[in-house]
Structure formats: structure tokens, C-alpha cells
Amino acid sequence: MKAAAFAYARATSVVNALELLAVHGDKAKVLSGGQSLMPAMNLRLLSPDVVIDICDLAELRGIVVKGNVLVIGALTRHVDLQRSADVATYAPLLRDAIVHVAHPAIRNRGTIGGSLAHADPASELPACMVTLDATIVVRGPGGERRIAATEFFKGIYETALSPDELLVAVELPIAPAGSTCFFQEFARRHGDYAIVGLAAQAVVKDGTFANLRLGFFAVGDRPLLAAVAGKLIDVFVTPASLAEAAAALVEELDPHEDQQGSPAMRRHLAKVLLLRCVAALLARPELDTGAAG
Amino acid sequence: MIAPMSVSLLVNGEPVDAFVLPRLNLADFLRENLKLTGTHVGCEHGVCGACTVRISGEIVRSCLTLAVQTQGASVETIEGLSDSGEIADLQAAFRERNALQCGYCTPGMLMTAQDLLKQSPTPDREAIREHLSGNYCRCTGYQAIIDAVEATAKARAGRSS
Ligand SMILES: Cc1cc2nc3c(=O)[nH]c(=O)nc-3n(C[C@H](O)[C@H](O)[C@H](O)COP(=O)(O)OP(=O)(O)OC[C@H]3O[C@@H](n4cnc5c(N)ncnc54)[C@H](O)[C@@H]3O)c2cc1C
Ligand code: FES
Ligand code: FES
């Protein structure tokens, strides 16, 4: 299908974009890469009166290191993350995740700001933000707000952004020295949205986790920072304690049913990923016994 | 403006000026307004890849791009790549290996395969599969397409060494 008629405005600055949003309110939609907005408009799931294209706002594009944080502008495209040496060095989890986001032609247009504002619970980048303890920076008529990623995602396609605000950047603490990461997802086909996925970052000292953050996605209405990680920190992990953690993980998940899988299948796959992740990060293959139950 | 807007761009190297409605996507603009019907429209929501074109040298979905967004851009379609001879060898390899049957997916497959070969001259089959993962083919079963891309990569590598 084709999109319904709308008016098109190209914002000339962030201030101008905010003015346009203030005038049109929730009758307007921000257009970034268009890789989620245009499908929704073509399917007539969305019919905004006004589309505000922010593609010219060069101030929102780019990746810079500022002290201990990596700042990524909202308009930075998936392909820019994929090619960035700074991302590979300071946020290797993002480098590992980004190749699972859609396909090359879509990564050439899709942006990090668009992906986070869209907040599809099966998408990779929101989970990475939660795992990496990112801060989402948004600007509105009242000025700037800084929101912890763990507070930003509110539900399926729902975030803490209000219709008159623009997501401008994300700030990631740079990966601590000696940290390691793990990213895996189950998908029908490379580049499809995940059936279940896990984005994890850890610090391992003397064979135990000094820190561990487990961001699961497609297991509920928003990315989940699993509390069960706490059971695995500062203790020697045994097959028994890991099995206990896997059983506790299942209680935290609230997976949905769709054509790709049942809640029971998603719970099972999340356990499989937990075992693989812990075994890989601790470099103890014997922990991934395949007995996820 | 819900009313038509002016847009000026290059299409296959030729300047084009037009008045278009904001809702017109680039695929329809190319097909309906410019009669460049090599760009195919399958799904209109980014999933099938049949509408793949190049903007500023990079492959994109023309069904997810508005014509008005291409103001000042350089768009290349399958007609451009074909007429310039840039992909003559790839097209020949597709023909030789029966990598097309109905041909609906072929323009998008050629665009995407050429994009891979420009970035990575000697991809293995896994890398070819991954790069073409966003392009559906309902006829060939993909193996022949992978064969054709692999054969073209090898032939080009042989020529340049
Ligand atoms: C076939 C296909 C497969 C895909 N597969 C995946 C996948 O596996 N994983 C995945 O994560 N994604 C996938 N995507 C989506 C893709 O990653 C999109 O790029 C991304 O979700 C949205 O980014 P965008 O820049 O295109 O945003 P847009 O489509 O332009 O916008 C998306 C939404 O966010 C709002 N928005 C955008 N930018 C801002 C901003 N700066 N401030 C406030 N609001 C804003 C828009 O108003 C809109 O509501 C896929 C897309 C397609 C078409
Ligand atoms: S028509 Fe554009 S991807 Fe299918
Ligand atoms: S040849 Fe028919 S869809 Fe590919």
C-alpha cells in the first residue's frame, strides 16, 4: 500500500524542529532514517498530517569520545556504527550487535535515534543501551532531559519521549578495561528481528564475575536488564548454581506469543542464551551443557 | 506542503526536475514519472528488496524513501548500472547459471550483489548470503544466485591480479 497524504517539512535546525513539533504536536511525526516510519505509513498503521524530516541536522550526526563517555548523535546511521573504530574500541557490544540489525540497504538509512525512539521490543539497540547503562539525551520546549536507558523504554513502541521532544544523542560509559561482551540472538534469517536475544557485558576477575549485565530482548514488552545476573556476581559459578539462575530467569520474563514462537519456546531460548553467555564469558565451555531444561 | 513540491536530482547521471507530492515514494517516482520500470515494487515495506537503488553510491530501499528526500541527490537505478556496463559480467553470470527465473527480484539482487563486490572483492558464500539476506527470491532457491555472485567475484579477482 501507499502512504496517505501528508505535508512535508525539512527542519533546518534542532530549534526549528522543536518549533515545528510544538506547532503540530501529535499530528506530526519525526522522520529520521524512515526505515520504521515509512513501512508503518505505507501499511497505513500511521497517518501523520505532517512529517518533519530531520536529515539535514548535521549537529545530530557523529560519534565522539568525551572523557569516559562515548557520545553518539541521534542521526548516526547503523552503518556508521558498524564502521566506527571508536565503537569497536569503546563499545564492542554495539559493534557485535549492529550486524544483526536488518540488512545492508536498511542499515544505510536507519539511525540509532530512530531505533530507540521506535522501541520495538525485538530490536537489538534498545537492549544494548540498557546493558551498557546508557543515558538517552532528549530536547524539548523546556530544554534538555537526560534519561537512564533503564527508565526510557516503557512498553511496545512506547518510550519516555513526549510528542514535542526530539531524541538528540545517547551517551555510553566507555567499556571498562578488561571487560568482555557477548551478543547472540535467535532469528529466522540473518537480519530479521530476534525471536529472543541477549546483549551482555561483564568484567571477569580470577574466573568470577566482578560485574555482569544481561540485557534480554524479545522476552517482554521492553528490553529486560535481568536481575538474575546478581546471583552470578562474586561467586564461583557451578553447573548447579547456573541451573538455579536459569530457573530464576524464567520468572523474570513475560514473553509474547506470535507466529515466530510461543512464550514457552521464548523462555527456553532465553535459558539457552544464558548458559551460552556465561560459559563464553567465563571461558568454561563445560557450563554450556545444553541442559537448559 | 501537502501540495506538490519541487525536487531536483540526478538520475543515472542526468539532471531531473519535477513537482511531486510528498507522499510519492522514490520507487513510484522512478517507475511512474520517469518510466524507469527496472526498479520493481514487491512489498512496499522494506522487506523484499526488489526496489533497491543507489543513492550517493549506497544501496537503499526506494519504497522507504520519499521522492522529496532525494533533493540534490544522485540516484542510480538498474538501468544506469546496466547501460554503463558496470555489471555486465554479473548479469552474464546470472544468465549462465540460471540465477533468475521470473526476474522480479533480479534488479534488486544485482544492485545488492554489486554493492558487496565493491566493498569486499573476494567474499565467501556466507558473506554473500549475509549481504543478500534482505532480498527475497521466490523462484531460484538462492543457490544459483550465490553461485553467480561467487563466480563473478573470482573472475574479477583473476582479472585484477
Ligand atoms: C525489512 C526491515 C528489517 C528490519 N530489521 C530490524 C532488526 O532486525 N532489528 C532492528 O532493530 N531494526 C530493524 N529494522 C528497523 C531499522 O533498524 C530502523 O532503522 C529503526 O528501527 C528506525 O530507525 P530510523 O532512523 O529508520 O527511524 P524512522 O523510521 O525515521 O523513525 C522511527 C520512529 O522514531 C521516531 N523518531 C525517529 N528519530 C527520532 C528522534 N531523533 N527523536 C524523536 N523521535 C524520533 C519517528 O517519529 C518514528 O516514530 C528493520 C527495518 C526493515 C524495513
Ligand atoms: S518493495 Fe521495497 S523492499 Fe519490497
Ligand atoms: S527470479 Fe523470480 S523472484 Fe527471483
A125, A143, A173 — which closes off a domain? Answer: A173
Give residue B1's pLDDT. 52
Residue A120 lies in a domain: yes
Give residue B3's pLDDT band: very low, low, confident or very high (50, 70, 90): confident
The whole domain housing A82 covers 58-173
Q: What is the ipTM of this complex?
A: 0.96
Asked whether residue A187 falls in the same domain as residue A114, the answer is no
CB contact under 8 A, B59 and A35: no
Q: For the whole prediction, is pTM greater than 0.90?
A: yes
**What is the whole-number distance in angstroms between the Cα of residue A92 and the centre of ligand 1?**
22
CA–CA dist B17, B71 (Å, integer):
9
With the C-alpha atoms ordered A272, A275, A281, A283, is the resulting torsion angle positive or negative?
Answer: negative
Catalogue the long-range contacts made by A41-47 (C-beta closer than 8 Å, 24 or more residues apart): A41/A3, A41/A4, A41/A6, A42/A1, A42/A2, A42/A3, A42/B25, A42/B44, A42/B45, A42/B63, A42/B64, A43/A1, A43/B45, A44/A1, A44/A3, A44/A4, A47/A3, A47/A4, A47/A6
Q: Which of A7, A109, A190 sits opposite B1 (nearest CB)?
A: A7
Question: What CATH code is carried by the domain that includes residue A150?
Answer: 3.30.465.10
Residue A293 lies in a domain: no
Asked whether residue A124 falls in the same domain as residue A202, the answer is no
Residue A267 lies in a domain: yes
Residue A100 lies in a domain: yes
Give residue A189's pLDDT. 87
pLDDT at B161 over 80: no
Alpha carbon nearest to ligand 1 atom 14, residue: A102
A114, A144, A173 — which closes off a domain? Answer: A173
Give residue B29's pLDDT. 98
Give which of B64, B77, B80 is closest to B24, Cα–Cα. Answer: B64
What domains sit in chain B, N to C, each tagged with a CATH number? 5-81 (3.10.20.30), 87-160 (1.10.150.120)
Q: Which of B69, B115, B131 sits opposite A53 (nearest CB)?
A: B69
Ligand number nearest to the C-alpha of A107 = 1
With the C-alpha atoms ordered A158, A160, A165, A166, is the resulting torsion angle positive or negative?
Answer: negative
Query: Which residues of chain A are at the B interface, by a Cβ-Cβ cutoff of 8 Å?
Result: 1-9, 34-35, 38-39, 42-43, 51, 53, 55, 79, 99, 102-106, 108-109, 189-191
Question: What CATH code is carried by the domain that includes residue A12?
Answer: 3.30.43.10
> Which helix or strand (DSSP H or E) is residue A180 part of?
strand A179-186
Q: Which residues line ligand 1 (CB under 6 A)?
A: A 29-37, 39, 74, 101-102, 106, 109-111, 113-115, 117-118, 123-125, 161, 166-167, 191-193; B 46-47
Give residue B8's pLDDT. 98
Residue A218 lies in a domain: yes
Phi then psi dihedrals of residue B25, to 5 deg: -85, 165
A36, A53, A70 — which closes off a domain? Answer: A53
At residue B16, the 3 state secondary structure works out as strand
Can you list the residues of chain A whose pLDDT is less than 50?
A: none
Give which of B99, B111, B102, B101 is closest to B135, Cα–Cα. Answer: B111
Give residue A293's pLDDT. 53
Alpha carbon nearest to ligand 3 atom 4, residue: B137
The three cell numbers of residue A7 are 505535508
Residue A1 lies in a domain: no
Q: Average pLDDT of B69-82?
A: 98
Ligand 2 touching residue B107 (CB < 6 A)? no
Q: Which of B28, B44, B61 sits opposite A106 (nearest CB)?
A: B61
Asked whether residue A148 falls in the same domain as residue A236, the answer is no
Ligand number nearest to the C-alpha of B109 = 3
CA–CA dist A54, A165 (Å, integer):
13
What is the 3-class SS of B60-129, one letter each residue?
A: EEHHHCEHHHHCCCEEECHHHHHHCCCCHHHHHHHHHCCCCCCCCCHHHHHHHHHHHHHHCCCCCHHHHH
- Overall number of domains in chain A: 3
Question: What CATH code is carried by the domain that includes residue A231?
Answer: 3.30.390.50
